[in-house]
Every structure is written in C-alpha cells, then in structure tokens.
Amino acid sequence: MLIQAAKVELDIYELALDELDLVAGSRRYFEALGELPDDPQQLKNAQEKVQPLVEEYNRRMHRFQDKYAEHECGKFIIGAIGYIARTARQTTRAERLEALDKAGSDFQLARARLDDMVAASLDNEQIETLTLTAREAGFNSVHCLKLYGDDNGLAGWQIHLS
C-alpha cells in the first residue's frame, strides 16, 4: 500500500516538476514581473508585459489541476505555488523568488524521499531471497510476518532473525 501510494506521488512530482516544469515557469513569470509598482497604470503595464507568460503558466497549471487537484500531494504543490502568487503584492521580487526556490527544494526533497522508499521496498520474491540468504548466513531462525493495513492490504513486513 505504501509503495503504491509513493509511486502515485512520484508520478505527481514528475508531471509538476519535469513535464510541466511548474516551478521554473513560476520563476520565469516572477523574474519578468519584477517589482510591482504602486501606480495602477504602471502595474497594468507590467502585467500586460508578462501576459504571454501568465497564459502559458495557467495552461500548464490547469493541466496539472485537471489530473491531480484532488490528491493531497497535488494540493500541496498547487497550494505552495499559489500562496506565493497570491502574496505577490505584499512581497518583493527577491522574496518571491526565494520562496519559490524553497518550495522547489521542498518538492525535490519530497520526491527524493519517495524514490528512496520505493528503491528500498521488497516484493515477495525478494523477501524469499532475503530469507534464504539469512539462513545461508547462519541464522537459525528466520521469520517473516506480513503486516496489513486497515483495508487488509499488505502494508509491510516484519522480519525476525536470530
């Protein structure tokens, strides 16, 4: 169960970070937008200047939302980037870019954790190999117990060696 969920989240990060490149798209927009002027006409001019970037970014974000807006991981990504955009009037260009870099780093770290978890997981055949290897290594007692989740799906293994 945990590995299946991790694989879904890896797909979400792949779409957001690699395929759609949402963080880099946000960065391009915030860099081009620059500092937001107080004058309404200057603000309108600045927004018009970056309108093509906004349209491209919105197209990518809508594609992501159509697929993963209801998944917790998708909500996390959408929420983090959305917060930076919603608070743009109260922050400087440098603060927006720093926040975006932090969010991108957090996304990469979460993906790395999921990659590690999937890589460390064992299937039934690998558990059997581990059991045989432990016996060949001299362990007298090797017991592998299946652990089940609330939905009765396999959640993991408990391995006792002595």
Q: What does the pLDDT look like over 115-159, one tens digit per residue?
A: 999 999 988 899 999 999 999 999 999 999 988 888 888 888 899
Which residue range forms the structural domain that includes residue 149? 124-161
Total domains present in the chain: 2
| Amino acid residing at 153 | G
pTM of this structure: 0.81
The answer on 93 and 53 residing in a single domain is yes
The answer on 129 and 116 residing in a single domain is no
Q: Is 39 helix (H, G, I), strand (E, B) or coil?
A: coil
Residue entry with tokens 């993991």: 156
Q: What angle do the packed helices 22-33 and 93-120 form, to 10 degrees? A: 170
The answer on 113 and 99 residing in a single domain is yes
The answer on 20 and 81 residing in a single domain is yes
